[in-house]
Structure 1
């Protein structure tokens, strides 16, 4: 079975890469392609990463360029005052994006020859896939001298397919965001699937220079036929402050790998995520955080609500190296199971190489408390509303501190709609 999977997926990707390299060949993309091939020949790697077996049974095709106008998106994008960049079917749409603006310099490279921090990265199947098959390498540079207030950056990833049951359109992206000489910036990332049957793979590197404050919001929505994969790298220097919120709402597969590198002193990370999974879906959420310098702080809070036959796997590693004295780092994971067929697996790890630190992690998973439900019912609240009250009580600490009031309302709306459609009456 594993051998068949290996041959099938490798055969498809080999054909796609052969066509791709005719217009986008570079030494770097070729190197990543060879590494990807080696992974697909590694039987242990394939067996360990079950999502490869899931996507194996689908026929993959490269998405075609689609004509699109802003009016087609009025009802599905955030109505915010920002610089809009539309990524559609594997390319940045220059016709409707705000390419020419006074806040961001945007460079589009046809060939993959940019190298930033590659020596630090432990690549995986999807990073190799982005590096070898992305049609464009996007570099966003923020380097302002005379502007004190900068508009938010709004990255919109849109997939337009054809609802085919026979194949999946695949889009790959490779983006770099370099932030310097500005004190505060906000980035919104919004992932939208207009049609079903889609495979999105995004690899983004964010480089923060000294004294940068970054607020980063991400919303991923989809359905039971969408496949979403992302790798994000954050490089922090001196006196950085990152506030990050991720909201990952049901797709067939969600794979997210976040890596944070504290390479400067006195930096801080506040990271919160919420995963909602139903149907027969699979999520793998990984967080790697490496403290390399002094007096840094990191706090992570991850929550998940799972129903039906869905599975969510969390894996977190907090690494404290020998020079990272006075580090304060913590990870907390909480999962709520809505029936006996749902599953949450959590694996937090601490890897500490000096004694002058404060580090901890905590894990909780369980179901709705029957006593709390009974208490609400005795107060005259019906069963559905009682469940919803307890569900919102579970997630409220993830959204209450969001600074952007409009985004907070939109997230509240998405979660409310999700719960109203969710089958929450399955008993254990």
Structure 2
């Protein structure tokens, strides 16, 4: 009869198709005995199944290139001190350097004398993920070492903590895979500068999984920079989680300027009153590369502040994806949160997909979000050329000016110079 509800047959969820998961056999390859923590993450990974385009979070990020190969967890490559010095950003004595090769901590190449941090290798569980997903579980379950880096209450490190990650690849299948897992523990009143640097040992393809979490105590401060400068054959999947106590602050800037396929998550929980976070990023995909950047910021207490600025330049059939979420809990009144995503398309074949979002469950808040997508302004080009500046010089000025709001905010000179050099290198053909 018309008007009566029809009876819908409920279908049981499909079991994950392990055959379509290129990582399905890796857990059994591990040489160390799996802990309960890693076993739980592996089971969660199997339950989720390998991501595909039907999932909303993967709608614009194709993983087909991962399905074309199998992967292996091989032992670390040998890197000489001279080669490590060539790949490093800081010279000897300029930082507290921790070197990791293919997922393993290498004490002999590190600078740990008189380091103010306590380094703890722990197998027990570290803080729960803010926003878990497939590749987060992959890194948690397959990482060789979980390194806890602790800075005692009231301590302020005079040198930056430099985390150098060197991954090697190979031409033939199975391809090499390395996972890095670190946890920063900043106790109340401490202050630290941390630089994550990811480089490739050679030009061959490899897979890098990385996860950095940080517990930031009351009135502690963290300045964090991530430089993803791997070769243009590699795959890079990373997650950064920051959990803040009262009046704590974090400034985190990500410069994703390498790899064929990059997906980077930044999640923040403002769990203490008056906590603040600044999350910035600069992406430059080109030549069929795909860079996917995602942020998830939770305001869970009164009077917290967050600022986000994400900029992307896309050229030569490159693709960029941005997905940002700001969530305001019911009790998080007097929240002040803003997020902007600016995108610049350098030619007709470049593509951007952007989705900034707000979920607000509280009154008395100031929240805003927005996104822009455009090309180089012809009027700007005409203005500069009319003053005697050549076309290539004018184009270079506009591109560097677009990125300057982020690069000028880098306090460490060597980091800023490295970012600008890498930025110029990747734009060399656009600027010629």
Under a length normalisation based on structure 2, what TM-score does the superposition of the two structures give? 0.90
Q: Structure 2: how far apart are the matches of 1:96 and 1:317?
A: 39
Q: How many residues align?
A: 413
SS state at 1:251 partner: coil
> How has the CA–CA distance of structure 1 residues 144 and 240 changed in structure 2, closer, same or farther, with 3 Å as cutoff?
closer
Residue 71 of structure 1: aligned partner: 82
Residue 123 of structure 1: aligned partner: 132
> How has the CA–CA distance of structure 1 residues 101 and 130 changed in structure 2, closer, same or farther, with 3 Å as cutoff?
farther
| Correspondence 1:339 to 2:352 | no
Q: Structure 2: how far apart are the matches of 1:309 and 1:6?
A: 32
Residue 104 of structure 1: aligned partner: 117
Among 216, 234, 238, the alignment partner of 1:230 is 238
Structure 1 segments unaligned to the other structure (5+ residues): none
Structure 1 residues 254-293: aligned runs within 5 Å: 254-293=262-301
| Correspondence 1:244 to 2:255 | no
| Correspondence 1:15 to 2:5 | no
Residue 176 of structure 2: aligned partner: 169
* 1:213 to partner: Cα distance: 1.2
| Correspondence 1:95 to 2:108 | yes
Q: Structure 2: how far apart are the matches of 1:333 and 1:366?
A: 12
**Equivalent residues of 1:224, 1:280 under 8 A apart:** no
* 1:88 to partner: Cα distance: 0.5
* 1:49 to partner: Cα distance: 7.2
SS state at 1:416 partner: helix
Worse-superposed segment, 177-186 or 270-279: 177-186
Among 305, 310, 314, the alignment partner of 2:313 is 305
Structure 1 residues 322-333: aligned runs within 5 Å: 322-333=330-341
| Correspondence 1:189 to 2:196 | yes
| Correspondence 1:294 to 2:307 | no
Q: Deviations over 1:81-109 (max 9, x none)?
A: 21111111011112222345441111124
| Correspondence 1:377 to 2:390 | no
* 1:9 to partner: Cα distance: 4.4
SS state at 1:295 partner: coil
Structure 2 segments unaligned to the other structure (5+ residues): 1-13
Q: Structure 2: how far apart are the matches of 1:41 and 1:386?
A: 45
Worse-superposed segment, 250-259 or 55-64: 55-64
> How has the CA–CA distance of structure 1 residues 148 and 133 changed in structure 2, closer, same or farther, with 3 Å as cutoff?
closer
Q: Structure 1: how far apart are the matches of 2:419 and 2:51?
A: 41
More helix by share: 1
> How has the CA–CA distance of structure 1 residues 167 and 97 changed in structure 2, closer, same or farther, with 3 Å as cutoff?
same
Q: Structure 2: how far apart are the matches of 1:337 and 1:302?
A: 14
Worse-superposed segment, 361-370 or 34-43: 34-43
Give the ranges of 4+ consecutive aligned residues of structure 1 lying more than 6 Å apart after TM superposition. none
SS state at 1:72 partner: helix
